[in-house]
Amino acid sequence: MTKREAASHILAGAAVLWPAALCTIQGLTLSPLEQALARSFCGQTQISIMGHCPACLTGAAALLLAAAMVRLAPNHAQPRR
């Protein structure tokens, strides 16, 4: 496995873990009132897609895009003589 492939795999793994990590961090930083409002039907003001906010999905998409760019980037290394 090349360094490029390893970097691509690490970025893809980070994309998979990003939504759970972000939601956990946000949950730990919210006050009890904010947590109650987020869980209540009337207090939910953010858009949720598959249980995750747009920041979760945007971060995961950005990491997946970075993984694809690293994996598919042309190799510009010059051969040694």
Calpha distance 8→29 (Å, rounded) = 31
Q: Residue 78 above 60 pLDDT? A: yes
pTM, entire model? 0.65
What does the chain come to in residues? 81
Per residue in 16-31, pLDDT tens? Answer: 898 888 888 888 898 9
Calpha distance 21→63 (Å, rounded) = 13
Per residue in 28-52, pLDDT tens? Answer: 898 988 888 777 755 455 666 667 7
Calpha distance 50→52 (Å, rounded) = 6
- 3-state SS assignment for residue 21: helix
Q: Name residues whose C-beta falls within 8 Å of residue 28's C-beta, 6 or more positions apart in sequence.
A: none
